[in-house]
Structure 1
Amino acid sequence: MKLRRLQVEQLRQFRQPFVIDDLQPGLNLIHGPNESGKSTLVRAIRAAFFERYRTSSVDDLRPWGDSAAAPTITLDFEARQKSWHLVKSFLQRKRCDLTVDSTSYSEDEAEEKLSELLGFQFSAKGVSKPEHWGVPGLLWVEQGTGQNIEQAVEHAGDHLKSALNSLVGEVASTGGDELVEQVRARWNELFTPTGKPRGDYQKLEKERQEHQQQIDELQARVQKYQEQVDRLGKLTQDYQRTQRERPWEEAERQLEQARERYRQVEKLEQLQAQEKETLTHLQSSQQLLRQNQEQLESLNTKLDVRKAELNRSQRDLEQAEAQSPSIASSVQQAKAAYESAARQVHQARLGETRSRLERDLRRLDQQNQALTANVKKARQYQQEVEHAREQTRQNQIDAHAVKALKETEHHLKEASIRSQAIATRLTWQLEPGAELALDNEALEGQGEKQLLEEARLVVPGIGKLGITPGGEDLASTRRKLFTLEQNFSEQLQKLGVDSTQQAERRLTAYEAAERALQHTRELLKSVAPMGLDQLLVEQKETQSQLLNAKTELHDSPAPEPGRQHQAVDVGSAEAARTRAETRLAEAEAEERKHQTELLTRRQTRDNAEAEWRQLQDEVQNPERQKQLQSLSKELAQIQQKQTRLEATVQAREQEIKHAHPAILKQDIERYQRSISNLRQSQEERQRELRDIQVRLEAWGAEGLEEQLSNKTAELEQCSRRYQELHRRAQALDLLLNLLTEKRQALTRRLQAPLQKHLDHYVSLLFPQATLEVDEHLRPGTFTRGTELGKIAELSFGAREQMGLISRLAYADLLREAGRPTLVILDDTLVHSDTDRLDDMKRILFDAANRHQILLFTCHPENWSDLGVPPRDIQAMKEQVPRPLQKTYR
């Protein structure tokens, strides 16, 4: 099947007719951005085939807000070596017309013809659904559904099996299927679809397991009973022995001794902490007194340092003051240079202004002369345009009307010739003087007349003869001839001519005048693009500008005397001024910096002098000597106390260390835990003795051994019944497997043509890999090297690729069986990586040698190397659709 042309109108966003024609037999790449209409075109193709023309459930085809729309789809395609032309309209104008070569079908008959061709079904009610789509639903991939193939294969399964049978013949008999189904029915009585037991078989197996579980539990309880009897004896001995020895009392005595030793160590640690705190206080006081002493002794050093700083700051101030005259001179020189450069810029600008005015004067004078010449030419061309326009008005005639007149004349001539061929011919040859009358018209001599209507021939002296022309087409030919003559006369009158030749001459003169008018308009436009009036305005404006330029040149000041010979341009003068300005700014900045430095150095000298005088007063103060003597005496007293206290602390530290307080604390904790554990163990033995005694009394009353014997007998009886059903189940399972293997062998023979095409495509995408189909022709097991799995376990992109190559394999199978195929892909393979996409392009290019493929995409850059020219929907929207032909050849 080859789709040649598609036209949609009043369908979603395509309110006006939109056409895609010249579709190629192989690959067709159609692209456009999102919301450009790609999916709408795919929906249109589906609606043309799948939807009943009389359905009212296709409101999604209606343009938004247009309740009066009648969505119309026109398709031209080739199938079975015939040309098919389909026109289907929905909603407001429900219609379906189909032409196959020269045979026409309409309404339901046309739709059934399409269904029979492509292998799909129509919905009995409402919109079409995937289960009705059959083969097209398998080969026409909607956006985002490329990975979903199982249901599509299921819906097209009958058509695929029919194609396979037509290739390999019927390889399976219904009798074998009936036997398999009978065995499967017996098997299903004993097994679930997943192979697990069901019914009585499941019930017996469950009962057998329950009996065995109960026996195991009883045996465990009997063994537990015996173990508890032994445990009771041992616990009784341990409890009585511990109750006599009472080991926790010895642990309590040792605990009290450890606590007493630890209390003594705690008293030593408290005393040690107090003396350490006193020692720390003495050390802090000593440090503070030493800091005060050092501060008083450091005043002499600070006084010397301040004196040196005062001398250095005085020298720095004197050096800075010595640089002031030279810096002031540099500033004056920079100012003079800047003023000279500024005057030079002013003179250069005066000279440039006069040069510009002189150039403008010359340019405006030349422009005025050119405009004057153009005005003269424009007036001449304007006269020629008026003359050509007058010729056009005098010879104006409608070219379509002239063409229609010629066609009418041609049809009139044909009708006249046809009427002459079928008219009744009347010839006469009379003797001299003899005369006849035909409808009151005298006939003499000899002649001939053709009669299209009933006439009366009067023979003088004899009577009247009635002549009635015969022939089935005579009346219609006569009416047609009369109509054509009337139309021809009306057309001549409407055009105001006497003949077709006169109309053609007027048309030729009109066209020549039109060409002359166009030529003169172009000449006029070449000299006056905006018209003669605008050209006159431009001329007036140019003359005004010329006068203003002369006045401005006359009023502009001339350069200063003695400077006219200098050829300094404005750019150089401004550059020199900029350099002078930069030098002046640098000099002024240097001066400001120097003044700031003077102020800073003077302030530094004053601060150093004030600090030196303050320190000198402090050093010479008598109170300072008294403070130094007092600090020395206090430091000596503190040093003696610190030495005695350190010796005491060190001795006590050794005493605490030899007592091991941490070990004593651990001993207390160990004895406490031992006492608790010994008492708790004895209590637990007492509780366990009571529990075992109660438990043994309860188990002894249950009769466990008698229960075990009864359950063993029940298990043996249940096992015998279970074995009977188990042997039957194994036999049925073996028989069903043998029958199924035979059936699968026949199925593999049936699937061989399809598997061949699948292997071809899979090898291009995954070398050394295979994809097998199941008995329902659905893609199933995927094998690559040592990897084995289902398609559903692959990544999304891989499933999309496998779905597409499976569809191409189905298409090859259908084509091999002589069935029509068309592959439509809407934005597919968007999840493929670069390498896989290249492989898929090879596959599509290969499949296009056997099928027509319509590939819609919003990423044309991904398909630029597909080997086919892309078609842009946006560009096609700008084209005017060609008239719809009745048939496509």
Structure 2
Amino acid sequence: MRLQRLRIEQVRQFRTPMALEELQPGINLIHGPNESGKSTLVRAIRAAFFERHRSKSVEDLRPWGDSAAAPTIELKFDHDGQQWQLTKSFLQRKRCDLVIDGRSFSGEDAEEKLAELLGFQLPKKGVSKAEHWGIPGLLWVEQGTGQDIEKAVEHAGDHLKSALNNLVGEVASSGGDDVIQAVEKQRAELLTATGKPRGEYQQLAAERDERQRDLAELATRIEQYRLHVDRLGLLSAEFDRANAERPWEDALRRMEQAREQFRQVESLQQQQLRAQDSLGQVRQNLDLLRQNQEQMQAQGTKLKQREAELQAARQRLAGEEARTPGLDKAVKDARADYEAATRVVEQARQQEIRTRLQQDVARLEDRYRTLRQNLDKASGFQQQLDQGRQQKQENRIDAEAVQRARTTRRQLDEETIRSQAIATRLSWQLEPGHTLQLNDSTLAGEGELRLLDEGQLTIPGVGRLGITPGGEDLASARRTLAHLEQTLSEHLRALGVAGVEEAEQRLARYQDGERQVRHTEDLLLSVAPHGLERLRRETGDTFTELQGCKAHLDGALETAGEQADHIPGLADAEHARKVAEQRVAEAEADRNRHETRVLTARQTCETANREWQQLSTELERSGNPQQLQEIAGTIAATQRREAELVKNLEEIESRIRQARPDLLQQDIQRYRQAAETQQAAQKNRERELRDIRVRLEAWGAEGLEEKFNESTAELEHLNRRYSELHRRAEALDLLLTILTDKRQALTRRLQAPLQKHLDHYLSVLFPEATLEVDEHLVPGRFRRGNDLGQMTELSFGAREQMGLISRLAYADLLKDAGRPTLIILDDTLVHSDTGRLDGMKRILFDAAQRHQILLFTCHPEKWQDLGVEPIDLETLKAQPLL
């Protein structure tokens, strides 16, 4: 089967006709971006074959918002040397016409012919579903479903098996099925489908495991019983020996001895603290006596120092007072210079104000001229904008309504031409002087008319002939013409025009006015971005500001003096004033520092004089030599007391070091812990002895060894029965495997033609790999080297590749059986890596030698090396269909 031409109209986004012409027998690569209509073309092909033309469940074909649409699909293809042409319309104009080498079929007869040819079923009612699609559902891959093949094979299974039977003949194998079913039934009593025990076999295995666990537990408890008996004897001897020796009492006695020794050391430590306090007080008194002695010895020396300091202070005061007149004169001169510099700065500032006013006047004059020019231009643009808006308002019309009217008129023209082609043709050639009467018209001479409606032809002197054009198509054409004429009249009446040409002229004038308005608005915005009124106000404000600046400038010029040319710049004048101000500050600072030094010298002189007089008076009043002698005697007695205390303290410290108080504390802790540990150990022995005796009494009452012997006998019985069922299960499993292998060998004979095609394609992508099909012809087990698993366990991309390979193998099988094949791939292999994609291209190119393939993609760059010329949907949509 080779699809030659596809034409669609009023299908989803394709409101106007669009066609794929001259499709090639091999690969046809059709590309376009997302939402360009690729999936719509695939849906159109499916609808043409799968959907009944009278179905009401194909609303998805209707263009959005067009309730009057009649989606139409035309297909032209050849098969087995015959030319097939299918035309199918839905919704508003339900029709199905099929022409096979000149033989015409219509309606359901045409649809049944297509279903019989391609191997699918038509739904009894409603939309077509996957279970109806048969062979096309297997070979036509929708976007994102390439990896899902199991259901498609199931729906096409009968057709595939029929093709296999045509190739290898009928092979009956029901004779061995009864045996296999009987073996399976017996095996199912003992084993699950995965080979695990079930029923009595499973119960015996569970009981056997439980008995083994019980025996192991009993053996463990018997062993523990024996160990506890041994432990009881050893523990009893240890308990009796400890009770006799009582080692914890010796530890407690030694702990008390260590405590007594530590209390003696604590008494020595108290004596040490008291001796240290007494020594500290004696040394403190000794330090105070020595300080008093030193102070009294230093008072004579200090009086001489005070007299020398007094003479030096008087000399410094006299020197500072001599510098005062010179510093006062420097401050006065610096202030005079600063006042002169300040006057110059004021004159320079007035000069700068005049200069700035002149610059502002020049700037405002330039701005006023610019604003005045923009205002003149804006006024002209505003006038043009008003004219454009008036033209737009006078010719306002709905562009979409005009388009609908234009489309309706084109449909009316096309339907008129079609109706003329199928109308009843009446031609005449009369002798001169003879006429005929057709309804209310007179016919003379020669001519021709095409009749769509009934008419009456009157032959003078002969009679009347009734003319009734026949055929369902003609009646439909009359109804369609009437409907289109009424629709066109309604469109024109809604637009308020006499004809489509007038509507198009109004639309052109409206669009011209709209363009003029947009252009003028842009021009007006360029000269008056904030509006014409804002521009007028800004122009007036600028003029007012200009007049004010001129008035200020005139006033400044009148007040300018004749010496304006000799005034320095403002920056130079301010710099000179700053220098003068700095000299004033420095002079004043020097004078202030000098005044501070004078006051300081005077204060120092007065302080030195007062201290000298005070110290001299104190020395005269006190008897200094007698006090020095008394202090010396007190210091000697205090030193002897200090020596006695030091000797006593050293003896106490020696006795404390010899006693080692830190070791005594450790001994106390060690003996206490030893006593506690030994007492706790004896209590633990007593508790453990009690627990062991209770546990041994309980185990002795249970009869552990008798239970062990009974359980051993039961386990031997279970093992014998389990071994019997185990051998039977293994035998049945082996027998079923042998029978199944024989049955699979017979099945492989049926599958051999399909397996041959699968191996042919698979070897290109995976050398040495195999993909097996089950008895229902569904791809299942995949083997590659040491890897073995189901096809459904592969990655998404690998499953997609295996799905396409399987579909191509099915197509080869169908072609060998003489069945038609057409392969449609919508955005397939998008999950393949570069290496795998190259292999799949080789496979597709090989399959294209035997089948026609329509490959739709939004990634044409990935298929550049496929060896075919691509078809660009966007280019086709832009070209008018003749």
Q: TM-score, normalised by structure 2?
A: 0.55
1:272-671 to 2 correspondence within 5 Å? none
CA distance in 2, matches of 1:601, 1:765: 100
Q: What is aligned with 2:707?
A: 707
Deviation at 1:133, TM superposition (A): 2.9
Q: What is aligned with 1:738?
A: 738
Work out whether 1:74 is the aligned partner of 2:74: yes
Q: What is aligned with 2:187?
A: 187
Q: What is aligned with 2:116?
A: 116
Query: Per the alignment, do residues 696 and 746 of structure 1 end up closer, same or farther by CA in structure 2, a change over 3 Å counting?
Result: same
Q: What is aligned with 1:200?
A: 200
1:725-874 to 2 correspondence within 5 Å? 725-767=725-767, 769-874=769-874
Report the secondary structure of 1:44's partner residue: helix
Deviation at 1:104, TM superposition (A): 3.5
Q: What is aligned with 1:221?
A: 221
- Give RMSD over aligned pairs: 6.5
Report the secondary structure of 1:217's partner residue: helix
Query: Per the alignment, do residues 176 and 70 of structure 1 end up closer, same or farther by CA in structure 2, a change over 3 Å counting?
Result: farther
Deviation at 1:72, TM superposition (A): 4.0
Deviation at 1:198, TM superposition (A): 1.8
Would you say the 8 A contact 1:268–1:656 is kept in 2? Answer: no
Q: What is aligned with 1:37?
A: 37
CA distance in 2, matches of 1:832, 1:624: 107
CA distance in 2, matches of 1:153, 1:69: 36
Deviation at 1:194, TM superposition (A): 0.9
Query: Per the alignment, do residues 784 and 690 of structure 1 end up closer, same or farther by CA in structure 2, a change over 3 Å counting?
Result: same
Query: Per the alignment, do residues 722 and 20 of structure 1 end up closer, same or farther by CA in structure 2, a change over 3 Å counting?
Result: same
CA distance in 2, matches of 1:820, 1:704: 82
Amino acid of the structure 1 residue aligned with 2:740: T
Report the secondary structure of 1:730's partner residue: helix
For residues 592-642 of structure 1, what are the alpha-carbon distances to aligned partners after superposition, in whole Å with 9 as ceiling and x for unaligned?
999989989998999899889979998998599999xxxxxxxxxxxxxxx
Deviation at 1:731, TM superposition (A): 1.6
Q: What is aligned with 1:99?
A: 99
Deviation at 1:53, TM superposition (A): 4.3
Q: What is aligned with 2:144?
A: 144
Query: Per the alignment, do residues 710 and 810 of structure 1 end up closer, same or farther by CA in structure 2, a change over 3 Å counting?
Result: same
Amino acid of the structure 2 residue aligned with 1:146: G
Report the secondary structure of 2:197's partner residue: coil
Query: Per the alignment, do residues 700 and 109 of structure 1 end up closer, same or farther by CA in structure 2, a change over 3 Å counting?
Result: farther
CA distance in 2, matches of 1:481, 1:55: 32
Q: What is aligned with 2:307?
A: none
Deviation at 1:730, TM superposition (A): 1.7
For residues 399-449 of structure 1, what are the alpha-carbon distances to aligned partners after superposition, in whole Å with 9 as ceiling and x for unaligned?
99xx99x999x9888999xxxxxxxxxxxxxxxxxxxxxxxxxxxxxxxxx
Query: Per the alignment, do residues 768 and 61 of structure 1 end up closer, same or farther by CA in structure 2, a change over 3 Å counting?
Result: same
Q: TM-score, normalised by structure 1?
A: 0.55
CA distance in 2, matches of 1:656, 1:92: 122
Work out whether 1:211 is the aligned partner of 2:218: no
CA distance in 1, matches of 2:88, 2:262: 109
Q: What is aligned with 2:174?
A: 174
CA distance in 1, matches of 2:659, 2:595: 64
Deviation at 1:819, TM superposition (A): 2.5
CA distance in 2, matches of 1:135, 1:261: 111
Would you say the 8 A contact 2:31–2:38 is kept in 1? Answer: yes
For residues 145-186 of structure 1, what are the alpha-carbon distances to aligned partners after superposition, in whole Å with 9 as ceiling and x for unaligned?
222233333333343344344444456633234433332232
Deviation at 1:251, TM superposition (A): 5.6
Amino acid of the structure 2 residue aligned with 1:184: E
Range that drifts further, 829-838 or 667-676: 667-676
1:692-703 to 2 correspondence within 5 Å? 692-703=692-703
Query: Per the alignment, do residues 78 and 742 of structure 1 end up closer, same or farther by CA in structure 2, a change over 3 Å counting?
Result: same
Amino acid of the structure 2 residue aligned with 1:223: E
Query: Per the alignment, do residues 107 and 234 of structure 1 end up closer, same or farther by CA in structure 2, a change over 3 Å counting?
Result: farther
CA distance in 1, matches of 2:261, 2:246: 25
Query: Per the alignment, do residues 208 and 658 of structure 1 end up closer, same or farther by CA in structure 2, a change over 3 Å counting?
Result: same
CA distance in 1, matches of 2:26, 2:841: 13
CA distance in 2, matches of 1:823, 1:767: 25
Query: Per the alignment, do residues 845 and 683 of structure 1 end up closer, same or farther by CA in structure 2, a change over 3 Å counting?
Result: farther
Range that drifts further, 789-798 or 140-149: 789-798
For residues 732-786 of structure 1, what are the alpha-carbon distances to aligned partners after superposition, in whole Å with 9 as ceiling and x for unaligned?
1111111222233344444444344334433443455444444444334444455
Deviation at 1:124, TM superposition (A): 5.2
Amino acid of the structure 2 residue aligned with 1:145: T
Query: Per the alignment, do residues 236 and 764 of structure 1 end up closer, same or farther by CA in structure 2, a change over 3 Å counting?
Result: same
CA distance in 1, matches of 2:734, 2:43: 51
Would you say the 8 A contact 1:119–1:159 is kept in 2? Answer: yes
Query: Per the alignment, do residues 857 and 701 of structure 1 end up closer, same or farther by CA in structure 2, a change over 3 Å counting?
Result: same
CA distance in 2, matches of 1:802, 1:598: 100
CA distance in 2, matches of 1:69, 1:839: 44
CA distance in 2, matches of 1:798, 1:783: 13
CA distance in 2, matches of 1:838, 1:741: 37
Deviation at 1:189, TM superposition (A): 2.5
Gaps of 5+ in 1: 279-323, 325-330, 343-348, 350-398, 417-452, 457-467, 469-474, 484-529, 531-586, 628-644, 883-889
Would you say the 8 A contact 1:415–1:480 is kept in 2? Answer: no
Deviation at 1:849, TM superposition (A): 2.8
Deviation at 1:227, TM superposition (A): 3.1
Identity rate, percent: 59
1:53-68 to 2 correspondence within 5 Å? 53-64=53-64
Report the secondary structure of 1:854's partner residue: strand
Would you say the 8 A contact 1:412–1:481 is kept in 2? Answer: no
User: How many residues are aligned here?
Assistant: 625
Q: What is aligned with 1:6?
A: 6
Query: Per the alignment, do residues 123 and 252 of structure 1 end up closer, same or farther by CA in structure 2, a change over 3 Å counting?
Result: farther
Query: Per the alignment, do residues 876 and 213 of structure 1 end up closer, same or farther by CA in structure 2, a change over 3 Å counting?
Result: same
Range that drifts further, 587-596 or 212-221: 587-596
Amino acid of the structure 1 residue aligned with 2:212: Q
Q: What is aligned with 2:723?
A: 723
Report the secondary structure of 1:819's partner residue: coil
Query: Per the alignment, do residues 234 and 43 of structure 1 end up closer, same or farther by CA in structure 2, a change over 3 Å counting?
Result: farther
Deviation at 1:703, TM superposition (A): 3.1
Query: Per the alignment, do residues 188 and 604 of structure 1 end up closer, same or farther by CA in structure 2, a change over 3 Å counting?
Result: farther
Q: What is aligned with 2:48?
A: 48
Amino acid of the structure 2 residue aligned with 1:795: S
Would you say the 8 A contact 2:783–2:789 is kept in 1? Answer: yes
1:235-274 to 2 correspondence within 5 Å? 235-248=235-248
Deviation at 1:83, TM superposition (A): 2.5
Would you say the 8 A contact 2:262–2:661 is kept in 1? Answer: no
Report the secondary structure of 1:34's partner residue: coil
CA distance in 2, matches of 1:261, 1:848: 113
Would you say the 8 A contact 1:138–1:807 is kept in 2? Answer: yes
For residues 810-869 of structure 1, what are the alpha-carbon distances to aligned partners after superposition, in whole Å with 9 as ceiling and x for unaligned?
333333333322222222233333444344334333333332222223333433444434
Query: Per the alignment, do residues 741 and 616 of structure 1 end up closer, same or farther by CA in structure 2, a change over 3 Å counting?
Result: farther
CA distance in 1, matches of 2:141, 2:189: 42
Gaps of 5+ in 2: 281-340, 342-347, 360-365, 367-412, 431-457, 471-512, 514-568, 612-645
Query: Per the alignment, do residues 94 and 413 of structure 1 end up closer, same or farther by CA in structure 2, a change over 3 Å counting?
Result: closer
Amino acid of the structure 2 residue aligned with 1:712: T
